[in-house]
Amino acid sequence: MKMSQPSSSLDEKGVNQNRDPICGMSVFTDTQSAAVSPEMRLLSAFKKDNHGRKVFLAGREYYSEEGKTFELRLVGKIKQQFSTSPTIRPEYPPSLGLRGFTQRVTEITLEKRCQAVVENRVLGVQTPGFTAAVRLGAELLRKWHDVRADWCGPVYLSSPCDDSLADIYRAAGIQEIRHYYYWDDKQQVCLEKLLADLDGAPEQSVVVLSASAHYPTGADLSQIQWVSIAQLIMKRRLFPFLLLPAQGLCNGDLEWDAWPVQYFASQGMELLCAQSLSHCFGLYGDAVGHLLCVLKQNSLLLSVQSQAEKMIRSLWAQPSDTGARVVATVLSNPAHVVEWKGEVKHLVERCMLIRQILRRRLRLLGTPGCWDHLTQQRGLFCCTGLNGQQVDFLSKRRHIYLLPSGCLNVSAINGRNLDYIAESIHLAVTTGSFSWPSS
């Protein structure tokens, strides 16, 4: 039996006049394209570039001397053990993450003898990466905003900072974003202007501070400067939200990089801290993040934990367990910790050596300007001080891609491209009427 086809009425242009809702216009018709991030725009341009000596210096991963994202030997061995272990079975982890992971990360960040840990007023939550940790912290802040009618403070971000941070807070419903001064034209942190901006912030404002490995500048605060900031935050009744985006790859030690978090907690301050363990363990395919909540009283712990669990159910339900299990395995075994620290120390020393050689090459070339800031900064990222014209020159004339701010990923420089990069920077600074800030 032959089925009859539904009739349709077409006009002279072939448009269906029946206006069946199923065949009508898409509900996404008016959707506008989102702005492309600087990193994605640069990566797209880099991939289309066919030049033989092109270099991409805007990535966020740690790159090996061979130009590839790395995996620690220890991590590779542990993953291999997991794959053959009969005791490890695929299952959903708890919404707050693996207990062993959150416990170990909390201990290395705050130390076991920390008063807040001893008094059981610290909540650790595993998240699927650093961005997720920031988002969960922002959601908790918004919840605080909703129930506290007297909370009117905005969120303060450093200038410059990771472009995605403001979007994360806005996505959580926090719309008032302000910036405090961080970086000056002498390629260093300007503490006086930073303190002046925070001193003018309304009480109960949230201040987002990079505890170490500041992105994108690579310039961190000294312990003396941290003491001054902590005193001002307590005096002005501000709330600190600390960031550890590349913990371990600044000084080669998780605890050392977390010193500002330990100091703030030791002063009895309530705080949030978003962390990433992906960089220092090479777990880029198994993103591992952690949100640390230090509270005033132990009596608040269960209510904050219940709110976090509720939020997680609507954000990602459960984090993945592979990366967290690797981190917990390493940090639970003293022999593994020694091996891990040795590998991380090598990564940090390589980045510092690259900085030293690049500075030496620029000096030998007679490149105008003072380049000492290259070795004064630490971690994966470095702010060169190049201006927009010079950055454009590097991408269009020399096929070297770095962020519009002049910041770059140090680990992407290696023995094959270092001389070419140094010569290109020299040309960018000396070609045309480019000005260089005074040293």
* DSSP assignment string, 332-370: T-HHHHHHHHHHHHHHHHHHHHHHHHHHHHHHHHT-SS-
Enter the pTM of the model. Answer: 0.88
Residue ranges, comma separated, of all CATH 3.40.640.10 domains in the chain are: 91-332
Length of the chain: 439
pLDDT at 358 exceeding the cut of 80: yes
pLDDT at 40 exceeding the cut of 60: yes
pLDDT at 318 exceeding the cut of 70: yes
pLDDT at 429 exceeding the cut of 90: yes
Residue ranges, comma separated, of all CATH 3.90.1150.10 domains in the chain are: 38-71+346-430
Percent of the chain with pLDDT over 90: 65
The tokens describing 381, both together, are 């990222």
Per-residue pLDDT, 30:
81
Cα–Cα separations (whole angstroms), residue 35 to 41, 103, 159, 192, 439: 10, 39, 20, 34, 36
113, with CB counted inside 10 A (0-12, 13-18, 19+), is exposed
Per-residue pLDDT, 11:
55
Give SS3 for 290: strand
CATH number of 38-71+346-430: 3.90.1150.10
* Contact indicator for 214, 160 with CB cutoff of 8 Å: no
Phi, psi for 86 (deg, rounded to 5): -75, -15
CA dihedral 280, 286, 292, 298 (to 10 degrees): -130
Phi, psi for 380 (deg, rounded to 5): -75, -30
Residue 115: count other Cβ atoms within 10 Å of its Cβ: 13
Region of residue 119 (left: phi > 0; alpha: psi -120 to 50; beta: else): alpha
Q: What distance in Å separates the CA atoms of residue 351 and residue 413, rounded to the nearest whole number?
A: 9
* Contact indicator for 162, 153 with CB cutoff of 8 Å: no
Confidence of residue 326 (pLDDT cuts 50, 70, 90): very high
CATH 3.30.70.360 fits 91-332, yes or no: no
